[in-house]
Amino acid sequence: VVSIHCSMVNVKKKLINDPRNVVEEMVRGICAVHSDKLVRLEGFTVLLHRNINTIKANQVTLISGGGSGHEPAHAGYIGDGMLSGAVLGGVFASPSTTSVLAAIRAACGSHGVLLIVKNYTGDRINFGQALLVARTEGIIVEMVVVDDDCALPEGKGVTGGRGVAGTVLVHKAAGAAAAQGLPLTEVAAVARSAAAAVKTLATSMTTCTVPGTTPTDYLDNKTIEMGLGIHGEPGMIQKPWKPAAELVEDMLNVIASRLQPSTVCVQEVVNQQRPQSPTRHSLQEFKFSASSRQPVKNERAVNYEASEENPHNTRTLPLSRKVTEQRHPESKKNTTHAAAIINYEELSIITSEETETPAPPPAPPRYNKGDRPIVLMVNSLGGTPTMERYIVAYDALRVCRRMGFEPVRVMVGAFMTALEMQGVSLSMLPVDGEDGALLLERIDRPTTALAWTGSSTESYIVKSMKPARAPIVMALSPRCADPHWVITPTAVVAIEAACDALEAAEPQLTAWDQIAGDGDCGITVQRGAVAVRAVAPMLAGMNAAKAYGAIADAVAGSMGGSLGALLEILFRAGRIHLLEDDDDEILISEKERRGGWACCGTRVRKAYGPDASSMIVDHSGALYAGTNAIMSIGGAEPGMRTMLDALVPAVEKLRKSQSRDDWKKAVRAAEEGAEGTLLMEGLAGRSNYINAELLKTVPDPGAKAVAIAFRAALEATSC
């Protein structure tokens, strides 16, 4: 244990015991929790359907798998109507041929086995070798390779697109076909059709780290990577970060350019035929070079059309330039499934001059006559919060419709991940025409697979209802009809200055709150400041009570959280105070009245000057009423390390006199109160849970926000 701990000093922290044993321990946990649905094949990291014997006696069985680290893929898709088993390799490492063969033997029945494999070299080789050996044993087995990734240009090299999140949709379509009782050839055809149709592209904000290794995050906070795989390997391009809506549009443009032409009549479709990828439909027509890895037309390729020797038109591995069909010596004479023996000795070196330059893909088609129906999958790469998934989903829905696609099914979740990578992939599966309708019906069929979340069956229509109006409207007091009982231009200047200062203070408020709270104070205050700043110009000349209500509405609609709720209480209670009809009298000088500052802070019945009968808005009384409401409803008091430690002393300075000097005193009181929170114990809000020693290092961010607002308002209205 000590040696393991020492060896992990410089590696990324993870919730593991031993990085050398993570897959084994994960499998144990899966089996312990889901023993009612899964069974483990003894001696292997192979998981099978609990009722595998019943399933293989009645239908084609489906096996998939690959390296671990992509959970819930693939074990999460074992269930009725999807996979029958999954073979798990090490983290980002293909499972061995032995493991795959063991899974085939355990799952094979009289109806045959279909292997669904992601297009990675290790997976193709190991699943393909197992397929060949299984055939020598008389097992009926076929394999479909999924290469839905759009990162690699079509026709570039022999590797082709990687198998990524779209593989899950292939599982679903093929699983439904198998559950319907279709024969192996038809189930394989369904899988191939779905694999050919679905297209995927990923974008990530971060890389991922294999357990037990040192982090290698080469992406800074301003850079994203587009077109990366599910193993943390570099993508097709690094580019500056963009807002989600722009990234989504970039991704969907690439994906749309790679979709197969629509099978239905449309008004305007690209006439140019796309060049066929050498890794799809015609893999066996190409030979592979061990060095240059370039595809060249193989004149000696085996004919894989249905024949007596190959009745299922089986798709096997394109590993050699010469693939010869031989019967296994131990196979029976009448065996209809021959074993393809790979001749590794005849691998040749082929230069790039022998290859043809692929044509560039056409521009994304625009379907002007009837939107093309698709299944849209928004997949988290592992570390993407649910919030961000749905932001991406909404942007993707809007872009799809603008491009002429109708997402008739939408799936949002973590379907195929890359450990803790923060990013998303988008997959588009067209379901137009008769074949598409049948494919969609199979996507919709029920399954008991643990990780299949289903999809929205509604078209993209945002439903909403109008909010109900408040049933009771408080009548205005007589003074509210007075033309002087309004918000003055000076008050608007003060409000705007306070909002600007709070918006600019976001980084500092956030830094303080990351230590003294949950880190959201800065952005919450900033949202509120922006919202109030937007309505501020409309407040000039507005009835004071109505203006307070408008500010409360802006706060309520933008901030959220406890701070937003408390500030809403402040302005709602202030509004109620202004609606009340009392006879409190506060005196101010004519000079202060002419300077306009008094109009920001006091209500009077009598004043010095010729217009002594006019009434000035009582902002100080409104703030006092609001502060008391906060203490009454929220339960906090001064001295508990909250915004009240700045707000209460400031408001107290304004209660008896409204001279400019008293406003200066109020600002100083707010600032001193905010700084005083450094010495206070957290007794309310998030700070109540924070270590006292940490709290001594930063002031309360809410109190500092109050002080910042008061200071900005004072300085903006200086005469």
Task: Give tens-digit pLDDT for 394-406.
Answer: 999 999 999 999 9
Region 183-211: mean pLDDT is 95
- On whether the CB atoms of residues 257 and 364 are closer than 8 A, the answer is yes
The 10 Å Cβ neighbour count of residue 308 is: 7
Which tops the pLDDT comparison, 364 or 559? 559
The 10 Å Cβ neighbour count of residue 328 is: 17
Q: At residue 287, does pLDDT exceed 70? A: no
Q: In the structure, what pLDDT confidence band is assigned to residue 691 with cuts at 50, 70 and 90?
A: confident
Structural domains of the chain sorted by starting position, each given as residue range(s) with its CATH number in brackets = 21-195 (3.40.50.10440), 486-581+616-717 (1.25.40.340)
pLDDT tens across 528-581, in order?
999 999 999 999 989 888 999 999 999 998 998 888 889 999 999 999 888 874
- Is residue 153 reached through a cis peptide bond, with omega within 30 degrees of 0 on the bond before it? no
Question: pLDDT averaged over the chain?
Answer: 79
- On whether the CB atoms of residues 120 and 97 are closer than 8 A, the answer is no
What radius of gyration do the chain's Cα atoms show?
34
Name the pTM for this structure.
0.69
Least Cα distance to 201 among 239, 167, 163, 151 occurs for 151
- φ/ψ bin of 718: left (φ > 0), alpha (ψ from -120 to 50), beta (otherwise): beta
At residue 560, the pLDDT reads 82
Active-site amino acid positions: 231
The 10 Å Cβ neighbour count of residue 305 is: 7
Q: At residue 611, does pLDDT exceed 50? A: no
- On whether the CB atoms of residues 46 and 99 are closer than 8 A, the answer is yes
Region 512-524: mean pLDDT is 88
Q: In the structure, what pLDDT confidence band is assigned to residue 285 with cuts at 50, 70 and 90?
A: very low
Of the spans 174-188, 661-675, 704-718, which averages the highest pLDDT? Answer: 174-188
CA atoms of 7 and 591, how far apart (whole Å): 76
Q: What DSSP assignment string belongs to 478-532?
A: GGGGSTTSB--HHHHHHHHHHHHHHHHTHHHHHHHHHHHSSS-HHHHHHHHHHHH
Q: In the structure, what pLDDT confidence band is assigned to residue 274 with cuts at 50, 70 and 90?
A: very low
Q: At residue 335, does pLDDT exceed 90? A: no
pLDDT tens across 256-265, in order?
999 988 755 4
Least Cα distance to 526 among 553, 559, 571 occurs for 559
Tell me the β-bridge partners of 297: 286
CA atoms of 181 and 179, how far apart (whole Å): 5
